[in-house]
Structure 1
Amino acid sequence: MDLQLTGKVAVITGGSAGIGLAIAHGLAAEGVDLALCGRDEDRLRSAAAELPGVRVLTVAADLAVPGEAERLAETVTAEFGGADILVNNAGTGSEETILTAPDERWQHYWELHVMAAVRLARTIAPGMKSRGGGVILHNASICATQPLGYEPVYNVTKAALVMFSKCLANELIGDNIRVNAVNPGLVMTGDWVKTAKQLTEGTDQTWEQYLQEIADDNAPIGRFATPEEVADFFVFLCSPRASYSVGSSYYVDGGWLNVTT
């Protein structure tokens, strides 16, 4: 299937690893030029080196800091003249309780998961409009609907991101800009592996066994997704082939979602 993406320009935040890098590979295979944003410049350069055949711009920025989204947008405009696709993927899990998490922790995740998306919409969407339209995708989480008990801050901010995505979709569809959210379930990223290794160190359980237990307990499919499996869905949503997909939240979760939730 021709996804009709050749020659487009995509901005991917959190683009140096995990799902973001997998999306970059998927879009590059379709002939999309890329602007990758992340906090670690060395990791961005390594990621860019994996993506031959398309133009790749790297921008080291912490999008939880006001002003960085604007700098990213300005850099993309200077290099590419604007963008046709924006994938808001930057984010990370949390671990706390509501009664002990200070205001600063809530504010940090609000800035990273919600305000970064708000600021990038304000700065990149006008250019999309002038280019005739575009696509904005938000990488949220199944936790936006079905929360995990150990990360209430993550759950709340991802839920807010999903609502922002819906509101933005309603506001921009008249400009031919399609906005959607994706709610992944268990995805085998470096963060999961790192956590599993830490929790099983010095025990009789391997980190692989630990993660398999999580998959068995939560995902009817019985395993974690690869980043590429999730990325393929993102790439399709970027395409005109998904032209009737507007303002929705899609679960890519191996059956984890409880329909009674």
Structure 2
Amino acid sequence: MDLGLKGKVAVVTGGSVGIGLAVAEGLAAEGADVVLAARGKERAEAEAARIAAAHGVRALGVAADVATLAGTDAVIAAAGEFGGADILINNAGTGSNETIMQAPDEKWQAYWDLHVMAAVRLSRGLVPQMRAKGGGVILNNASICAVQPLSYEPIYNVTKAALMMFSKNLATEVIGEGIRVNCVNPGLVLTPDWMKTAKQLTADTGGDWEGHLQGVAEEYADIKRFASPEEMAHFFVFLCSDKASYSVGSTYFVDGGMLKTV
């Protein structure tokens, strides 16, 4: 199936690992050129070179902390040098661990900048590039926790809920210019972050991190397993494509049955 992505320029934040890397690879497999933004310069450049060689596309690794204005400016500039963005995947983010009563203002602000302001600034900077090319797609990677929170990470829950609402508002604002905005709320996805945490939690009890994760899956997901980043990427790639042309301002749950409401 031709998804109409060949020659498009896609910007993916958090693009050197996990869901972001899988999405970048999935888009490249469909012929899109990709800009991978990540804090680590060496890894971003190495993954970009690997993707370019594997799929015969242009790929650029950009070292940028998108939680900062300087970081988002660097990504916007890189996309412009690549011919302008057609696709933006706001994926950069990470979980948290705190209580509302004890978390300092600085931690709230750091997550707000990473999960919300990065998407705001990158959208502001890349929408004009999309407009000049006749349209585009913006996908914001939020979380099931935006509507079904996990108790140990209130800051993550709140900022991801804000990202979901931002998506809805931006969608209304730019659809008249041919730019489609949607939000994806993943459930459990087997990323390096999950594996690292599981190894830490089981280090003193035998190290069965895989068993720990299986227990998490059985507790929360009806499908009884984690998704792979590649499974998640298939959904993102579809939403970027011409086949999703009527998908505007929606939030899609890809969670293996984890959501317990309608």
TM-score by length of 2: 0.97
Distance 1:106 1:189 in 2: 23
The equivalent of 2:47 in structure 1 is 47
Between Structure 1 and Structure 2, how many residues are aligned? Answer: 259
The equivalent of 2:165 in structure 1 is 163
Give the drift of 1:71.
2.1
Distance 1:15 1:9 in 2: 14
1:67 alignment partner, SS class: helix
The equivalent of 1:108 in structure 2 is 110
Give the drift of 1:257.
0.1
Distance 1:206 1:68 in 2: 38
Give the drift of 1:28.
0.5
Deviations 1:101-154 (A, max 9, x none): 000000000000000000001100011011000000000000000000000000
Match of 2:71 among 68, 71, 84: 68
Distance 2:78 2:87 in 1: 15
Q: Stretches of 4+ moved more than 6 A in 1?
A: none
Distance 2:176 2:182 in 1: 15
- Percent identical pairs in the alignment equals 64
Match of 2:124 among 109, 122, 125: 122
The equivalent of 1:188 in structure 2 is 190
**Alpha-carbon distance change, 205 to 67 in structure 1, aligned in 2, over 3 angstroms:** closer
1:244 alignment partner, SS class: coil
Distance 1:64 1:48 in 2: 21
Give the drift of 1:205.
5.7
Q: CA RMSD in A?
A: 0.9
Deviations 1:184-221 (A, max 9, x none): 00000000000000000120460011000000000000
Deviations 1:59-110 (A, max 9, x none): 10101112321221112202x2211000000000000000000000000000
The equivalent of 1:37 in structure 2 is 37
Query: Is 1:19 matched up with 2:22?
Result: no
- Give the AA of the match of 2:248: V
Query: Is 1:89 matched up with 2:91?
Result: yes
2:67 alignment partner, SS class: coil
Higher mean C-alpha deviation, range 171-180 or range 38-47: 38-47
Structure 1, gaps ≥5 residues long: none
The equivalent of 2:214 in structure 1 is 212
Is the contact made by 2:67 and 2:113 (CA closer than 8 Å) also made in structure 1?
yes
TM-score by length of 1: 0.98
The equivalent of 1:2 in structure 2 is 2
Higher mean C-alpha deviation, range 101-110 or range 80-89: 80-89
